[in-house]
C-alpha cells in the first residue's frame, strides 16, 4: 500500500477534494489516503456539495491536523496550497514531496452561484491533477 498525505492550510476544501478524488480514482485499493491541515477549519459544506455533484461523497471526512499523522511513514506528501508548503512545520519523513497550488475556493466572493462556480472549477482542476498523479506515480 502507498501512503499519501494531502496537505493544505485548513483541511477544509482543497485537500478534502484531493483526498476524495484520490480515493475515488484508486482502482484496486492501492492507496492509504490522508488529508490534513496546518490548522483545522472543518470540512466546507460547499466542497462536500460540489464533490457530491461529481459523484464523490466526502461528507464523512473530518478536518485533521498534521500532527495526528506524524507516526505514519508516508510515501508522498502533496501540498495543494502555497501557504501550507511555506508554513508547514517540520515533518520527519522520507516521503517524496509534491506541490501544486490551487486557488482557495473558500475565498470566492459574489452570488451563491458564482461561489459554487469557483468551487466547481477548483474541484475539476484538482481532479485533473490527481488523475495525472495516479497515472504517473501509482500505475
* 3-class secondary structure, 37: strand
Ordered DSSP codes for 39-102: S-----HHHHHHHHHTT---TT----BGGGGTTS--SEEEE-SHHHHHHPPP----PEEEE---
All three cell numbers of 62: 473530518
Is 8 one of the catalytic residues? yes
- Identified catalytic residue from 4, 8, 18, 77: 8
- 81 is a catalytic site residue: yes
The catalytic residue among 81, 116, 130, 134 is 81
**Cα dist. 100→48, 85, 109 in Å?**
21, 9, 23
Question: Which residue in the list 38, 88, 116, 126 is annotated as catalytic?
Answer: 88
- By annotation, the residues acting in catalysis are 8, 81, 88
Amino acid at each position: 500500500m502507498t501512503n499519501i498525505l494531502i496537505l493544505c492550510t485548513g483541511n477544509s476544501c482543497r485537500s478534502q477534494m484531493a483526498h476524495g478524488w484520490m480515493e475515488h480514482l484508486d482502482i484496486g485499493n492501492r492507496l492509504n489516503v490522508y488529508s490534513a491541515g496546518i490548522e483545522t477549519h472543518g470540512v466546507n459544506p460547499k466542497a462536500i456539495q460540489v464533490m457530491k455533484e461529481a459523484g464523490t461523497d466526502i461528507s464523512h471526512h473530518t478536518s485533521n491536523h498534521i500532527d495526528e499523522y506524524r507516526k505514519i511513514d508516508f510515501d508522498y506528501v502533496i501540498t495543494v496550497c502555497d501557504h501550507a508548503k511555506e508554513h508547514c512545520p517540520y515533518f520527519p519523513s522520507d516521503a517524496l514531496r509534491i506541490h501544486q497550488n490551487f486557488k482557495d475556493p473558500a475565498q470566492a466572493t459574489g452570488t451563491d452561484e458564482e461561489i459554487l462556480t469557483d468551487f466547481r472549477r477548483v474541484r475539476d482542476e484538482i481532479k485533473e491533477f490527481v488523475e495525472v498523479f495516479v497515472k504517473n506515480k501509482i500505475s
